[in-house]
Chain A
């Protein structure tokens, strides 16, 4: 008599999804990696030291996992949150007090902190094992950009609760753009950029204005940061991640002694 397990495994439905037998022998264990869209990010086999947690610290994988957590909880948060001066803060309170499973915002916030930490530790590990050396130089460059995007993702998300912490942290941060050389209206060299005595770089045309959408953190800033946080930067990070993972494979897999 066939067991239920066999019935399921041999059904047309199961076999249409998983095109091979259970991964119990060498051949099917190779097949499972090659035929699964998620698993095929991996190579079929790796050298044994790559399994060692004391070598990899697992930090690259953890960073990616936290990004997925952020994406999922972020989408759920977007169901409840309206990025306007009128509603942003009220929706925060509703998320805290009214929405069922009221740890959505906590999950998103703590995973964000954890992701910044994990990305920094991943960079630390890659440096300490010398894994940026040839042939992986370019992937290190992509990694640095991903680290910057991680910080920017966190930074843009900081504003969205629209509480005191949010707007003043962003005010402190974006005030730096005001002092950017040449393109900030209080930066060195900006006063030289004049046409017929008319300043090109003013408080309504400089880098900070471009960042905030107005002279001070306000309604346009909230909208701008919302779009950056939920759409623009995640898209950029997604693209760079695809390159990053692809290059890990193409540059010879997990780093190791040559």
Chain B
């Protein structure tokens, strides 16, 4: 639940944190300036303007962050406008943002990152993005509504997860791009160069020790600074609004917007676990074993990133940060309003088909008909969706193999059994974005709606 805190009260609460935040950002940029300056002398380093421009840029960024830190330290109410994003910008962000934009944006980002990876893996680009993220988060923290949701103690690790995932996705892509360039020159990947043996004592055990000490320090500091939340005692009569599952299941809870619980809560998780477990047996590509590469396993990379980042992580973030009372969508700077109602008038595919397109009533068994007659009537009523699903799952994999040369090649490499399981898993995974699209474009509720047997897809 969000309490109402004025901007000034909020500023008093966060200014201490902001001082440290901007100070760390300034120090990091100072370090970056030094690092880039030293790189200039490295063999193959840039010459001329290119040599000193980055250092100058990061030095300027450091000065800017230092200035912000000083402004935060003053804690004056007049400093508020300097430390915040302009209100019109925040309002615009709230208005524009929605589940559709978030999901579509995630796909665009992933595809853009994939095709532009040569550009994005450059240190300067990554450092700029990090600086923007640090600045954006810092400027947002003066907004009380932003703080109410993002700075909740249980949500702090998820902010950390976003940074970690961004960093590691970048780090992996960077090494993959390097390796792909080497492989294109018929050189072995970098990991193969470092194949000499080293003794575990002392080389590995000391790394482990340092890791443990560092991590334990982090945990202790984190535990001292941030109290574990304890809400009101459990009450079975007072339902909080919203009621959220633990954060790592919020992607699945977000699915409840599009699917019934038996799909979102049972079938989809089971398919995710099954799909992950059979992954090594379906991926018959022998290349890219034990080193970072994207070029040698483009399809596997894209499919996994789509499933993991776009369909698991992004809905999870959406559920954590943007879902408020009644599971309505709220922008990051928006006050949670219990009365915000999104009018949705969703229709079933069968209604569309029979009533809108054929201009006839829904087929129904006459009153008092036998069980099998009613079943037949339901099947007839839902036949458009059932046929569509049948074609999607039973005809499409075969047709794809037959009419697409690369997919035929895949089918031959994998063999029939592996191919069909792969295609089913991929098609079932794609069912989710397809359903989302149909909901956004046509207000589609269910492809197959058989509430009589709790069977809705």
Contact = CB atoms under 8 A, between A and B. Distances in A.
A33 B200 contact: yes
A125 interface: yes
* Chain B at the A interface: SS class: helix
Interface string B211-253: 1100110011011101111111111101110011110110011
Contact of B219 (A42, A51, A53, A69): A69
Contacts of B154: 113, 165
A53 B211 CA distance: 10
A141 interface: yes
A52 interface: yes
A133 B289 contact: yes
Contacts of A172: 243-245, 253
Contacts of A238: none
Interface in A131-162: 131-134, 136-137, 140-141, 144-145, 147-148, 151, 154-155, 158, 161-162
A93 B200 CA distance: 45
Which of A113, A186, A190 is most buried by chain B, counting CB atoms within 10 A of its CB?
A: A113
A221 to B, nearest CB: 11
Given A46-B198, A128-B176, A188-B262, A257 B192 contact: yes
Given A133-B283, A173-B245, A117 B161 contact: yes
Contacts of A78: none
Contacts of A186: 261-262, 454
Interface string B176-200: 1000000000001111111111111
Contact of B192 (A30, A92, A113, A256): A256
Contacts of A166: 234
Interface stretch (A3-11, A100-108, A223-231, A239-247): A100-108
B226 to A, nearest CB: 7
A132 to B, nearest CB: 4
Interface of B: 154, 157, 160-161, 164-165, 168, 171-172, 175-176, 188-205, 207-208, 211-212, 215-216, 219-220, 222-224, 226-236, 238-240, 243-246, 248-249, 252-253, 260-262, 264-267, 273, 276-277, 279-281, 283, 285-293, 297, 300-301, 304, 308, 450, 453-455
Nearest 10 Cβ contacts at the A-B interface: A176-B265, A137-B280, A179-B261, A106-B223, A49-B194, A113-B157, A188-B455, A257-B192, A179-B262, A130-B288
Interface of A: 23, 26, 29-30, 32-33, 39, 42-55, 57-58, 61-62, 65-66, 69, 89, 92-93, 96, 103, 105-111, 113-114, 116-117, 121, 123-125, 127-134, 136-137, 140-141, 144-145, 147-148, 151, 154-155, 158, 161-169, 171-173, 175-181, 184, 186-191, 216-218, 255-258
5 contacts: A29-B199, A106-B228, A110-B219, A176-B261, A180-B266
